[in-house]
Amino acid sequence: MKKHTVIALILALAVIFSLTACNVELKKEKAVYIGTTAVIEKAVRGEYNYDMFASGNSEIPLVWQDGADHEYKPLLASYQTVGNKTWTYTVQQGMTWSDGKPVTAEDILFTLNYDDANGEAVFNDKTATDGKVTEKKYEGYALSADKKSISLTLVTENARELSNMTSFRIMPKHVYEGKNEITDADGRVVCGPFVLESFNKEAGVLTYKVNPYYPQKPKIEKLVYRIFGNEDLMYMALKNGDIDTVWAYSQSVNANYYDVLKEVDGLDFIQTPAVGVRAVVMFNTSIAPFNDGNLRKAVSYALDYEAFKNTFGSAGVSVANRGFVPASVSGAKQTEKLKKDYATAAEYLKKSGYVKANGGKYYKKDGAELEFALTVRSSNATHLRYAELVKNNLEDFGIKVNLDAVDSNTFNVKTSNKFSSDNGVGVSHQAAINGFTEAGMGMKDGFASIYVDKSHPVQGGCQVDDEVFLGILENMRKAKTKEEYNAAAGSLQDYYADNVPLIALYWDNLNYVHSSKLSGLKTDAVFGINNVVSWLNADISER
Amino acid sequence: MKKYLNNLITCVICFIFIVILNFALPRLMSGDPVAYLTGVDEESMSVVQYEYYRNALHLNDNIFVQFGYYIKSLFDGSLGYSYRMEATVSSLILSRIGATLQISLVAVVVSCGIALVWGLSAGSKKGTFDKISTTANVIINTLPSFTVGMLLIILFCFGVKIFPYSGLNSPNIEKGTAEYFFDRIYHLILPVTTLTVTFLPSRYLIVRNTARAVLNEKYLLFARQRGLGRRKIKYGYILGNVAQPFIAMVGMSVGASIGGSVVVENLFSIQGMGTLLTDAVYALDYPLMQGVLFVTAFIAVISIIITDVICILTDPKLRRARL
């Protein structure tokens, strides 16, 4: 009996070790392994997480924004403009779909028409059921005779039009035209340097191979994305050398993991200045108590920015300016640094009639304590921590804060124009904790204005609609050159500094971690480390 | 017998209540039900899409008509449609339930088997073995499944490196081959062990304590006096008394064990019902959440009913009453 048990154990161990050997064999290819916690269900175009992967390797946008200098650079197409009103995109030489057909400007036009037919106001105004009209973006277009260029004429000039093209991925007209539904294989016809080879859902692995038709040959043979159920395991795999880097859209390594990973041999970091602001206090300027500018200023002087910097920041963290926009953003203006100054805060409160009695905990006016509700997403642990520290800071100073932790939908209903109006109420928060992505910061007129502007159809959490602010936005829209735009953007930052509709609790770098064996990586301001330029330049030494 | 009939009625009432709650929740919450029922961020929805979803979800009809459509989706087996995943809920659940059952059912069976043998051995004889076993199980009982899984991963995946820590299979193995089968078992060992260790203490304790409670009964004394061996006494006499509460507990915990696999699936990056539910919760994909809750409740109710039937069949008094 014992003899049989021993034989069975030996056989079982043989199977296990032979399978372990199989896994080792996989790693001999010149492949880069990327860990992610994004969930992929079908790996087809239109699936959000898959599109985020694909934008960085196979479904390439027209242009990219270099994460190092934040300049826009040609990718699928080169570009030129006449007065920021007509933008001409010319498909780069040799660009070919993965089925061998050449990429043309007709594909760009087809994608724009496809979006228009699916509800986006591209070439036609769209009217919502409540009568709201979204104005069309373009008033016309012209294709060149060789079908390699398309000139798109905007309804109004936009000096920042290229920011909209960093995530605009075109569709192959010859595949989609005349079809209501397409196969998964057709949906995977792409024009980037890599093409999806397989998606093994059970193993949680997406494998991309080189697109033989792409004009430039990458040094690496495969990109393998390994899907992890949780970040802890993913970073353990990185430390163990099982993956070469990690990626999540619009995020980098958070400060907690950064502190641990920087001590690990064999891991390097790429640090780029952030264009987004991860930690924001947003005031609703249309209702009490923050319709009083003095209270907003008082809060801005009562917060301990060094505490935020030390608690949440990673390498490169700094205290933000009153002008809100990170110094690394092109067009950012040097405004006064935020600082804790109880005396100034008290002065602003005094101007509004708030005083603190001897021995009293909170400032009062007409016997009523100064208090407000701070709305925060309950699902976001980091935002909850920001909210706790804001509460502690302000209550130490003498302003009572009631935390209003709500689910994401309720948060949107309270802080966004679109969600609140759909529910028949206005934006109702008093102040809220939010985080603005790179994309959000640059949307519409840029410089975080969509979150401030009361008339913005979707955001507008700060509910600002005074003439000075609207005049500045008008100037930003009218700008015909980058210099004119930056001048108007400087006025906007001065407005933020003077009127405090929002506060950046700190500015931080984006920290991307990768194995020391992986070289040549570049960062994209929108897609981070997972971008076409990265994978065209990347190389990996022997494992 | 009446007790079991009451249990059956209670189960059915609970099930109906869950169905009604499932339907009502997204419609009672603040915000637009279109956003809840599609799981699609309203900001990214165009006017055309919004109207399409509103019509497709029958939100323009009165609440009773909507409930009728919901009941129809339960009876036709589709369980609704996940617009976020662009698939019927049943197809999504079917694509995942296999992975979950491979982990949770195996863990239920293994933990029950170990608990039965271990609990009977510890409960049928006072002494050091019982003390050590019971203390160990009480300690293990305090460990959450995440901790157990992490410890196993650190030890076996990153320490001695003999087991994989993610997925159900290696990426380059062809389906349907013997290699695929063994690879699957190889990948299941740690997730199943994690759940087994998590489930074991409660099962062990119920067996051990029930066995201990009958240890001084006269019929056991007589059995021992008759010279029957320990093995015969354990499995022939004590087991009969332990069986009823044990079977009832196992039946009740089958549904819970499927829910319990949420943590293990997330930990081991396995695409099962648990991760499906987690994704649905994060994406606020209510049709999917409703579907997973419905299936879990259904399995729980069925397992309780089966348990009751087994209890009747294994209890001589009830069996005779039935006859």
Q: What is the pLDDT of residues A79-123, one digit of tens each?
A: 999 888 899 999 999 999 999 999 999 999 999 999 999 888 899
Average pLDDT over every residue of B298-318: 82
- pLDDT grade for A12, boundaries at 50, 70 and 90: low
pLDDT score of B39: 62
Question: What number of other Cβ atoms are within 10 A of residue A370's Cβ?
Answer: 22
- The answer on pLDDT for A422 being more than 80 is no
Structure-token pair, residue A237: 């795999």
- Tell me which chain B residue has its CA closest to the CA of residue A414: B31
Residue type, B284: L
Is the CB of residue A127 less than 8 Å away from at least one CB of chain B?
yes
For A248-283, what is each residue's pLDDT tens digit? Answer: 877 788 777 888 898 999 999 998 887 889 899 999
Burial class (CB in 10 A: 0-12, 13-18, 19+), A231: middle
Q: Virtual CA dihedral for B286, B290, B292, B295, nearest 10 degrees?
A: -170
For the question of an ipTM over 0.85, the answer is: no
Report for A76-80, B74-78, B230-234: range of highest mean pLDDT? A76-80
Among B42, B168, B179, pick the best mutation site for testing chain A contact (most A Cβ within 10 A). Answer: B42
- pLDDT tens digit string along A185-216? 888 899 999 999 999 988 999 999 999 999 99
Q: CB-based contacts of B316: which residues, under 8 Å, 6+ apart?
A: none
Q: Which residues of B touch A128 (CB under 8 A)?
A: 47, 50
| CA trace torsion A417, A423, A428, A432 (10° rounding) | -60
Per-residue pLDDT, averaged over A496-518, amounts to 94
* Chain A residue with the nearest C-alpha to that of B153: A233
Q: Could you say which DSSP state residue A60 is in?
A: -
Q: Does A20 touch chain B (CB under 8 A)?
A: yes
Residue A480: per-residue pLDDT = 79
pLDDT band at A22 (very low <50, low <70, confident <90, very high): very low
- Average confidence (pLDDT) over B285-309: 84
What pLDDT does residue A24 have?
44
Average pLDDT score, chain A: 89
Which among B31, B163, B179 has CB closest to A409?
Answer: B31
User: Could you tell me which residues are beta bridge partners of residue A502?
Assistant: A282
Let me know the angle formed at the C-alpha of B17 by B16 and B18, rounded to the nearest 5 degrees. 90
Q: How confident is the model at residue A408 (pLDDT cuts 50, 70, 90)?
A: confident
Interchain proximity B269–A229, CB inside 8 Å: yes
User: Which of A233, A404, A418, A419 to mutate to probe the B interface, most B CBs <10 Å?
Assistant: A233
CA–CA distance, A448 with A461 (Å, rounded to integer)? 11
- The answer to whether the Cβ–Cβ distance between A200 and B171 falls below 8 Å is yes
Other beta carbons less than 10 A from residue A336's beta carbon: 9
User: CB of A159 within 8 A of CB of A480?
Assistant: yes
CB-based burial, B55-66: b 16+ in 10 Å, e otherwise: eebeeeeeeeeb
What pLDDT is stored for residue A102 in this prediction?
96
Nearest to A111 by CA among A177, A186, A182: A177
Summarised one tens digit per residue, pLDDT across range A221-232 is: 999 999 998 888
What average pLDDT does the segment A56-68 reach?
91
For residue A187, the chain B residues in CB contact (below 8 A) are none
With CA atoms as reference, the chain A residue closest to B34 would be: A422
- B-chain CB neighbours of A419 within 8 Å are 31-32, 42
Highest mean pLDDT among A264-268, A508-512, B75-79, B232-236: A264-268
Pairwise CA distance, residues A433 & A502, whole Å = 10
Q: How far apart are CA A170 and CA B56, in angstroms?
A: 29
**Which residue of B lies nearest to A118 if distances are taken between CA atoms?**
B48
A to B CB pairs, distance under 8 Å = 129
For chain B, give the mean pLDDT.
84
CB contact under 8 A, B47 and A119: yes
Q: Which of B262, B303, B300 is closest to B96 using CA atoms?
A: B262
pLDDT for the residue A25: 45
Question: Which pLDDT belongs to residue A21?
Answer: 46
Range with the largest mean pLDDT of A64-68, A336-340, B87-91: A336-340
